[in-house]
A and B are shown apart, each in its own frame.
Chain A
Amino acid sequence: MTSCTHCNLDIPQGVFIKSEEDQNLQFCCTGCEAAYHVIKGLGLGNYYKRRVLDPNIAALKPEDDVGTIDYQAHAIAETDGTQALYMMVEGMHCAACVWLIETLLQRHEGVTHARLNMSTRRLVVKWQDEKSSANELAGLINGLGYRLVPYDPAALDRVNHEQEKELLRSMAVAGFAAGNVMLFSVSVWAGYFQGMLDVTREMMHWLSALIALPAVVYAGLPFYRSALEALRAQRVNMDVPISLAVILASGMSLYQTIVGAQHAYFDSAVGLLFFLLIGRYLDRRARGRAQSAAERLLALNARSATVIDEEGNRQLLPPSEIKIGMVLLVAPGERVAADGEVIEGTSDLDTSLITGESAPATALPGTGVFAGTNNLSAALKVKITASDKDTLLAEIVRLMEDAEQGRAKYVALADRVAKHYAPVVHTLALFTFLWWFFLGDALWQEALLISVAVLIITCPCALALAVPVVQVIASGRLLKRGIFVKSATALERIAKTDIVVFDKTGTLTLGKPQLVNLGEISQEQLNLAASIAAASKHPLARALCQVAPTVKVAENAQETPGMGMSAGDYKLGKRAWCEVETELKVIGPELWLTGPEIKPVRFVFKDQAREDAQEVVSTLKKQGKRVALLSGDLEPVVHSMVMELGIDDWQAECSPADKVARLAELKRQGFNVLMVGDGLNDAPALAAAHGSISPTTAADVSQTAADLVFQGAKLSPVLEALATAEKADTLVKQNFALTFLYNGLTIPLAVAGYVTPLIAAIAMSASSLVVIGNALRLTKSRKP
């Protein structure tokens, strides 16, 4: 096998396109050849030397059907007379891609600015209006094999980014204060042993106060705000003891400083804030990243729909602006954007995302169509019907909301711990104060000082750091393998999985049919059939062409939607269309080829299992987990799949409600269910299960419902996600154990009044470091 010079994919045997001027260049398709010449023509051939391809990212193979987005509609007019377009780039492999895209755009006439952010994959292009157009520029990049999705910069960034920046600013201030106050504290501690003058110590304390107090006020804001909110709602969260400890410690230390006492806890107060802010920032970043990844995936699928108004004008609208009564034009290859009824045209619809059925269905005027179905063979005009409660999509959304309510009750482990922990800490501090004041005959200042020390020592510094650090590392590790963690508690929930429920079409299988009886067909017949099929976008026709990629399109091929193709006297299509009389039973999707001088030939197709499906199923069984299959597809198809993969627990022809009912039954039996599915019909089940995973090829609604989304043609990410979740769960529990062990040792010391500022500072930093160190073990364990 040789690989394509541009996209680096293997070139199927015999499909070489060799360049005439240079025999070293070979391409898998004309798209790649064109892309190569564009790059070379601009003198950017260095790109091929510099790039490092990432096998986990889609190859740079230009697609032929990218023309459905109208980029001009998303261009924004700038004040200086230029136009700007904001887009997300999919398919970026390395820094060389950034360089290529930027340079290519900058050398284009009229472009004044082109900048691609490598971390967020966002591209900004600005150009002079009269010299170029958005579609021209986007077409240039699309032609290289990248995919561009326009986005609205105002809507996407604001909230998330602002919060992240605020935390980072607070962290910087707290870090600065902690460092400087610690310097003074070290001198004070050294002074205990070397005999520092009282005056000097007091000066050190005043300086510490000068730095610490403004920092405590500013950097503590995120905590005070959240604590106040919780108190207003008459709840107690982790931020209440944190705020209390920080405020009391600083207030008490200020009082100590004023009266010239020996101990001040400024370093502990600021250090506490600093460590907690680190945890908070990591948490926010991991969540923001997962969110933006999910947004990007959804944006990629959401394409604009063509609406025809009463005068017959066409207009491109985003799916959110489609209203009842509008007429949509759905071109072949496009997705139906909203529920409706066909008013003109006949075509085949791929409904696998909705019903789980692998064979396409015929659509005629009067047929109801659903959002998410794929139009295959001919243009359809669809009138949008009222979004009644009885439309399929509305029903599915309702089921999903019901199911999600159950899940919303799940409380993250950290919050459960905090719920019990916070009152205990408060009671303990209060108890300490009362005990010293009444029984210990201490002055109130002394008693308060000791109870503040208890608050500082018990403050959930390690606790607040323990979970975010593990989660950041775990989701970062999964992200590298193309798995996006969408929900904060997802890993925790799937860690306990003991039964994995799969959907069939699109999940266990790739959702694409493949020819299975190649051996029964002669090469001539195959070439003939493929040449006719090449003119169609029907999935069976595509599958046929895949086996014979070199065949040229038959010139006179014509498609009769819903029936088949014809080319002269030859016919390729359904049994009835080809007028075949045969004894053979239908065993799956099939095509027939008839014509003069040949006996009718049958092509049988099957939606094959993903290549590693069997391995994944058997590994799961080996790990002691149960495996089940719930499919909306017909029984014989499901049965053969079940036999192939060795799944005993299965059910065919399930409606969305059946799936949810089955999951509820499993839950009642005490199982923790992980649902893996992709279809719209799976969405309620995905929301109902304890945890859920979807492939990126899934319907939008399903990706929204799922906790994790994975890329690629393999099923092994399911195993990877489970393993990481279990590992992360263990580490979180270990971290909790470490924290409680530390508290068990230090609380008695604090209550007894032995905790000086030195001990408090050391104990706090040490416990935080131990927890982080333990979490970091996740990066070292088991290489991919």
Chain B
Amino acid sequence: MDNLIYLIAAALGLGSLGLLAFLWALKSGQFDDLEGAANRILFDEDDEENNKDP
């Protein structure tokens, strides 16, 4: 019985952590541009060498 109470408390705590994280992400604008963020990571800041043709 005691174990159950600890486990429930732990589960609820973890759950609310997730909820808070989501609300924080929502507030800080991380859901504003879902498409862009996924693609942005693919582009490096590299310059091409000028002797190569596109």
Residues from chain A with a CB closer than 8 A to the CB of B48 are: 43-46
Interchain CB contact under 8 A, B19 and A45: no
Interchain CB contact under 8 A, A180 and B15: yes
- Identify which of A48, A119, A211 contacts B12 (C-beta below 8 A): A211
Which of A169-177, A499-507, A759-767 interfaces with chain B?
A169-177
* A50 smallest CB distance to B (angstroms): 7
Known: A44-B47, A45-B54. A176 touches B33 (CB 8 A): no
* A753 smallest CB distance to B (angstroms): 32
Residues from chain B with a CB closer than 8 A to the CB of A45 are: 48, 50, 52, 54
| 0/1 string, A93-111, CB within 8 A of B gives 1 | 0111011000100000000
- Identify which of A43, A49, A120 contacts B50 (C-beta below 8 A): A43
Interface size on B, residues (CB 8 A): 30
* A144 smallest CB distance to B (angstroms): 15
* B32 smallest CB distance to A (angstroms): 6
Residues from chain B with a CB closer than 8 A to the CB of A173 are: 19
Residues from chain B with a CB closer than 8 A to the CB of A200 are: 1, 4
Interchain CB contact under 8 A, B35 and A118: yes
Residues from chain A with a CB closer than 8 A to the CB of B18 are: 176
* B42 smallest CB distance to A (angstroms): 7
Q: Is A420 an interface residue (CB 8 A)?
A: no
Interchain CB contact under 8 A, A180 and B12: yes
How far does the alpha carbon of A764 sit from the alpha carbon of B34 in the complex, in Å? 31
Known: A22-B53, A46-B54, A95-B40. A165 touches B32 (CB 8 A): no
Interchain CB contact under 8 A, A179 and B15: yes
Q: Is A132 an interface residue (CB 8 A)?
A: no
| 0/1 string, B1-40, CB within 8 A of A gives 1 | 1001000100110011011001100100001111110011
Known: A46-B46, A46-B48, A172-B23. A95 touches B54 (CB 8 A): no
- Identify which of A94, A103, A180 contacts B11 (C-beta below 8 A): A180
* B26 smallest CB distance to A (angstroms): 6
How far does the alpha carbon of A43 sit from the alpha carbon of B22 in the complex, in Å? 39
Q: Is A183 an interface residue (CB 8 A)?
A: yes
Residues from chain B with a CB closer than 8 A to the CB of A49 are: 54
Residues from chain A with a CB closer than 8 A to the CB of B45 are: 103
Interface residues of A in 4-60 (CB under 8 A from B): 5, 22, 24, 40, 43-50
How far does the alpha carbon of A22 sit from the alpha carbon of B8 in the complex, in Å? 71
- Identify which of B12, B19, B36 contacts A95 (C-beta below 8 A): B36
How far does the alpha carbon of A168 sit from the alpha carbon of B30 in the complex, in Å? 13
Residues from chain A with a CB closer than 8 A to the CB of B15 are: 176, 179-180
Residues from chain B with a CB closer than 8 A to the CB of A517 are: none
How far does the alpha carbon of A180 sit from the alpha carbon of B10 in the complex, in Å? 12
Known: A117-B33, A119-B36. A176 touches B16 (CB 8 A): yes
For B52, give the chain A residue with the smallest CB separation: A45
How far does the alpha carbon of A457 sit from the alpha carbon of B40 in the complex, in Å? 46
Residues from chain B with a CB closer than 8 A to the CB of A5 are: 54
Interchain CB contact under 8 A, B53 and A24: yes
Interchain CB contact under 8 A, A172 and B26: yes
* B23 smallest CB distance to A (angstroms): 6
Residues from chain A with a CB closer than 8 A to the CB of B47 are: 43-44, 46
Residues from chain A with a CB closer than 8 A to the CB of B23 are: 169, 172
Interchain CB contact under 8 A, A95 and B42: yes
* A635 smallest CB distance to B (angstroms): 51
Q: Is A666 an interface residue (CB 8 A)?
A: no
Residues from chain A with a CB closer than 8 A to the CB of B39 are: 94-95, 98, 118
Interchain CB contact under 8 A, B35 and A119: yes
For B25, give the chain A residue with the smallest CB separation: A172
Known: A172-B26, A176-B18. A119 touches B42 (CB 8 A): no
Residues from chain B with a CB closer than 8 A to the CB of A176 are: 15-16, 18-19
Q: Is A442 an interface residue (CB 8 A)?
A: no
Q: Is A207 an interface residue (CB 8 A)?
A: yes
A22, A95, A96: which has the most chain B beta carbons within 10 Å? A95
Interchain CB contact under 8 A, B36 and A116: yes
- Identify which of A22, A103, A117 contacts B36 (C-beta below 8 A): A117
Residues from chain B with a CB closer than 8 A to the CB of A179 are: 15
How far does the alpha carbon of A168 sit from the alpha carbon of B25 in the complex, in Å? 12
* A479 smallest CB distance to B (angstroms): 13
Known: A119-B34, A176-B18. A168 touches B26 (CB 8 A): yes
For B32, give the chain A residue with the smallest CB separation: A117
How far does the alpha carbon of A180 sit from the alpha carbon of B16 in the complex, in Å? 10
Residues from chain A with a CB closer than 8 A to the CB of B12 are: 180, 211
* A540 smallest CB distance to B (angstroms): 39
* B45 smallest CB distance to A (angstroms): 8
* A46 smallest CB distance to B (angstroms): 5
How far does the alpha carbon of A659 sit from the alpha carbon of B35 in the complex, in Å? 44
Residues from chain B with a CB closer than 8 A to the CB of A116 are: 36
Interchain CB contact under 8 A, A119 and B54: no
How far does the alpha carbon of A546 sit from the alpha carbon of B44 in the complex, in Å? 41
Known: A49-B54, A98-B40. A118 touches B26 (CB 8 A): no
Residues from chain B with a CB closer than 8 A to the CB of A94 are: 39
For A103, give the chain B residue with the smallest CB separation: B45
Known: A43-B47, A45-B48, A46-B48. A98 touches B26 (CB 8 A): no
Interface residues of A in 672-728 (CB under 8 A from B): none
* B27 smallest CB distance to A (angstroms): 8
- Identify which of B8, B22, B34, B50 contacts A207 (C-beta below 8 A): B8
Residues from chain A with a CB closer than 8 A to the CB of B32 are: 117, 119-120
* A121 smallest CB distance to B (angstroms): 10
Interface residues of A in 618-661 (CB under 8 A from B): none
How far does the alpha carbon of A308 sit from the alpha carbon of B48 in the complex, in Å? 49
| 0/1 string, A76-95, CB within 8 A of B gives 1 | 00000000000000000011
How far does the alpha carbon of A47 sit from the alpha carbon of B48 in the complex, in Å? 10
* B34 smallest CB distance to A (angstroms): 6
Residues from chain A with a CB closer than 8 A to the CB of B50 are: 43, 45
| 0/1 string, A576-620, CB within 8 A of B gives 1 | 000000000000000000000000000000000000000000000
Residues from chain A with a CB closer than 8 A to the CB of B33 are: 117-120
* B48 smallest CB distance to A (angstroms): 5
Among all A-B residue pairs, the 5 with the closest Cβ atoms: A95-B39, A118-B36, A43-B47, A48-B54, A117-B33
A-B contact pairs, 23 of them (CB 8 A): A5-B54, A22-B53, A24-B53, A40-B54, A43-B50, A45-B50, A45-B52, A45-B54, A47-B54, A48-B54, A49-B54, A94-B39, A98-B39, A103-B45, A116-B36, A117-B32, A118-B36, A119-B32, A119-B34, A119-B36, A120-B32, A168-B31, A176-B15
Q: Which residues of B contact A (CB under 8 A)?
A: 1, 4, 8, 11-12, 15-16, 18-19, 22-23, 26, 31-36, 39-40, 42-43, 45-48, 50, 52-54
Other than the given A96-B43, A180-B11, 4 more pairs (CB < 8 A) read A43-B50, A44-B47, A165-B26, A172-B19
Q: Which residues of A contact B (CB under 8 A)?
A: 5, 22, 24, 40, 43-50, 94-96, 98-99, 103, 116-120, 165, 168-169, 172-173, 176, 179-180, 183, 200, 207, 211
